[in-house]
């Protein structure tokens, strides 16, 4: 009879131990029959069978005891052990810079793209801090965003001086925005 208790206990331990080291479970790892909102602090979902947290709230991650702890980096959205950031917030709202993208540098720390003065107009950065996507009216040039020339130019993906999309009432002709004929 004592062995009858070992199987459920072993299964519960397997479920807890099989959790990815990411601070969050993958969708296919969740046993939905036993998942419900959790009373544990900063835990979104619990597996009631294993009595384990499955998903921490944003800005928190699992520590070694499988408890949700605040990430050390304030711009980190998901972490483990809480010093290792897995995913940064997309923008720097928590740093008081809501319109600036955040990237994870090579050391694993979340950084604002504005730490580099040439990133005006940058929507997303690479891990080295250089821009990889620009906002409207900017052209990506060797890791930095350069303003399109011409007030009516909305998109100039290849070069700042070659407009491909113009504001309403204008059209691109030879890379320049000209007034559309009525």
**Confidence band, pLDDT 50/70/90 cuts, at residue 46:** confident
Span 129-157, average pLDDT: 91
Please say if the pLDDT value at position 181 is more than 50: yes
Q: Which of 9-13, 21-25, 124-128, 133-137 is the least confident region?
A: 9-13
**pLDDT value at residue 79:** 92
**pLDDT value at residue 9:** 31
**pLDDT above 70: percentage of residues in the chain:** 71
Nearest by Cα to 129 from 109, 152, 150, 146: 109
Please give the residue that has the higher pLDDT: either 11 or 70. Answer: 70
Q: Which of 53-57, 112-116, 122-126 is the least confident region?
A: 112-116
Measured at the CA of 116, the angle between CA 110 and CA 118, to 5 degrees, comes to: 140
């Amino acid at each position: 009879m004592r062995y009858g208790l070992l199987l459920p206990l072993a299964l519960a331990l397997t479920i807890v131990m099989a959790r990815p080291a990411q601070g969050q479970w993958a969708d296919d790892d969740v046993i939905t029959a036993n998942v419900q909102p959790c009373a544990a602090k900063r835990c979104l979902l619990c597996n009631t069978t294993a009595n384990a947290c499955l998903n921490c709230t944003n800005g928190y991650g699992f520590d070694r005891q499988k408890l949700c702890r605040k990430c050390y980096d304030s711009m980190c959205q998901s972490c483990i052990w809480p010093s290792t950031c897995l995913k940064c917030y997309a923008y720097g709202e928590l740093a008081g810079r809501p319109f600036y993208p955040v990237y994870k540098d090579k050391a694993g720390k979340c950084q604002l793209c504005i730490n580099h003065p040439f990133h005006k107009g940058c929507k997303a950065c690479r891990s080295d801090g250089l821009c990889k996507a620009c906002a409207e009216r900017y052209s990506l040039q060797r890791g930095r965003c350069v303003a399109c020339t011409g007030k009516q130019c909305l998109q100039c993906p290849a070069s700042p001086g070659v407009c491909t999309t113009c504001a309403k009432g204008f059209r691109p002709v030879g890379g320049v925005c000209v007034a559309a004929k009525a």
